[in-house]
Amino acid sequence: MMKKAIIPRMQGMLRDLAFVLALGSAAVTLLPAQQAQAMSRIKDLANIEGVRENQLVGYGLVTGLNGTGDTLNNCPMTKQSLTAMMERLGVNTRGANMRTANMAAVMVTANLQAFSTQGTRLDVTVSAMCDAKSLQGATLLATPLLGADGEVYAVAQGSLAISGFAAEGEAAKITRGVPTVGRIANGALIEREVDFKLNQLSNLRLALRNPDLTTARRIAAAINDFLGADSAEPTDPSTVSVQVPRNYSGNMIRLLTEVEQLRVEPDQRARVIVDERSGIIVMGRDVKVSQVAVAQGNLTVTITEQPEVSQPEPFSRGETVVVPRTGVKVDTDEKKKLAIVKDSVSLRELVDGLNALGVGPRDLISILQAIKTAGALQADIEVM
């Protein structure tokens, strides 16, 4: 009989043990997944020094406007550009009284992507310079685009596409969007390449988008673990220098494609970003606050004027006068008492504690600044 009673009890214990082991294995499998979600690729944390865009700019003319172009008398550069262009085409217009409103002077800008090759195209943005009312229907004439060194890297030409419009009558006017700015998709043809031989580099430098000592050290450690040698070293909070190993010599592209996929958990300073104009507050995950007591209230003084007319007695020699009646009311928000914001161990608890005060974003900005002044906020406050 005792053996029969012990067997079911042992079976129940075994089931409980199996359940505990299953929970433990589930916790072990969930932990790496949570850590993986907090980690980012080196590709998303840093740029490769030397691999960058280059800004191009040019001055040109657009034609084909329906009477919404520049006024030549008010825009001398448009008139001079028109005269010079016509002379290059064999037409002499010097001294002539030109009155055209179908063209305008514009600035053309573009970004030359890294490793863009000769003959490929890029998008350009065209912006009016003078008093043109709209660039709708405009066509950009051939415009050379210059780099910072003064060399021509591309030539832009084509029809503009604008997202805004303007219409007006004798007594009303409506404008939507910005009709004096347009874009030309694939509107520039690249004529010169930026010479940068990435594959011949012997030393690679990674520039962190958000400089931080801890993040730079973690990136260097991840690269060294992958390469199996001390090839990477952080030189400052924003730069990690990588010496190209021998097995990757002459094959920088292979090294970069493998390094940029490594995952690192980025670190950052505890900061509170405040935009007083819009009342926006952004707090980082490492923001902590010591236990403080906060009281928030406003002193409101309301003054109302209700003048009354005083009439004299009938058949008397008095005069009708206006007698002032002033009412003054003072509101000190006596119902609002001290509230305690406890020690925070997470951003969620900090937000819950500040929300418990029942104040708006603008009052919350003043409260955070006061807590920082009291030395209870372990974070930097940056006002935009």
Tens-place pLDDT, residues 106-148: 999 999 998 889 999 999 999 999 989 889 889 999 999 999 9
Domain end call among 264, 287, 306: 264
Same domain for 179 and 207, yes or no, is no
Tens-place pLDDT, residues 47-70: 988 888 899 999 999 999 988 888
Packing angle of the helix pair 361-373, 347-355 (nearest 10 deg): 110
Residue 301 above 60 pLDDT? no
pLDDT of residue 30: 38
Q: In which residue are the tokens 């060194």 written?
A: 149
CATH of the domain at 216: 3.30.70
Domains held by the chain: number: 3
Q: What is the rounded average pLDDT of the residues 242-269?
A: 87
The C-alpha atoms of residue 84 and residue 228 are separated, in whole angstroms, by: 65
298 CB contacts (<8 Å, ≥6 apart)? 331, 333
Residue 165 above 70 pLDDT? no
Query: For the CA atoms of 367, 372, 378, 383, what is the dihedral angle to 10 degrees?
Result: 80
Same domain for 260 and 291, yes or no, is no
Q: Which of 212, 189, 309 is nearest to 264 (CA)?
A: 212
Same domain for 60 and 174, yes or no, is yes
Go through the chain and tell me how many residues it has.
384
Q: Count of CB atoms within 10 A of residue 323's CB?
A: 8
Same domain for 61 and 147, yes or no, is yes
Same domain for 170 and 203, yes or no, is no
Confidence of residue 347 (pLDDT cuts 50, 70, 90): low
The C-alpha atoms of residue 348 and residue 331 are separated, in whole angstroms, by: 33
Q: What is the rounded average pLDDT of the residues 83-99?
A: 81
Q: Which of 330, 329, 334 is nearest to 296 (CA)?
A: 334
Per residue in 201-220, is it b (16+ CB within 10 Å) or e — as a string?
A: beebebebeeebeebbbbbb
Q: What is the rounded average pLDDT of the residues 24-40?
A: 49
pTM comes to 0.65
Same domain for 248 and 328, yes or no, is no
Which amino acid type is present at position 304?
T
CB distance 279 to 359 below 8 Å = no
Note whether residue 16 is domain-resident. no
Query: Angle 194-196-201 (CA atoms, 0-180°, nearest 5)?
Result: 175
CB distance 267 to 218 below 8 Å = yes
Domain end call among 248, 264, 280: 264
Note whether residue 301 is domain-resident. yes
C-alpha distance across the termini of the chain, in Å: 80
- For a pLDDT cut of 70, what percent of the chain falls above it? 76
Query: Angle 157-83-59 (CA atoms, 0-180°, nearest 5)?
Result: 35
CA atoms within 13 A on the CB side of 299: 0
Same domain for 374 and 281, yes or no, is yes
User: What would the two tokens of residue 341 be?
Assistant: 């914001």
Same domain for 278 and 338, yes or no, is yes
Same domain for 223 and 245, yes or no, is yes
Query: For the CA atoms of 247, 250, 254, 260, what is the dihedral angle to 10 degrees?
Result: 90
Note whether residue 123 is domain-resident. yes
Note whether residue 139 is domain-resident. yes
pLDDT of residue 18: 47
Note whether residue 26 is domain-resident. no
Which amino acid type is present at position 116?
S
Same domain for 186 and 59, yes or no, is yes
Note whether residue 1 is domain-resident. no
Note whether residue 32 is domain-resident. no
Would you call 3 helix, strand, or coil by DSSP? helix
Q: In which residue are the tokens 């229907």 written?
A: 137
Tens-place pLDDT, residues 318-334: 777 777 776 666 555 55
Residue 302 above 70 pLDDT? no
Domain end call among 212, 244, 264: 264
Average pLDDT, the chain: 79
User: What would the two tokens of residue 288 be?
Assistant: 């902590």
Would you call 301 helix, strand, or coil by DSSP? strand
Same domain for 236 and 289, yes or no, is no
Domain that holds residue 324: 271-383
Q: What is the rounded average pLDDT of the residues 352-370?
A: 74
Same domain for 179 and 239, yes or no, is no
Note whether residue 331 is domain-resident. yes
| Least confidently predicted of 46-50, 187-191, 297-301, 354-358 | 297-301
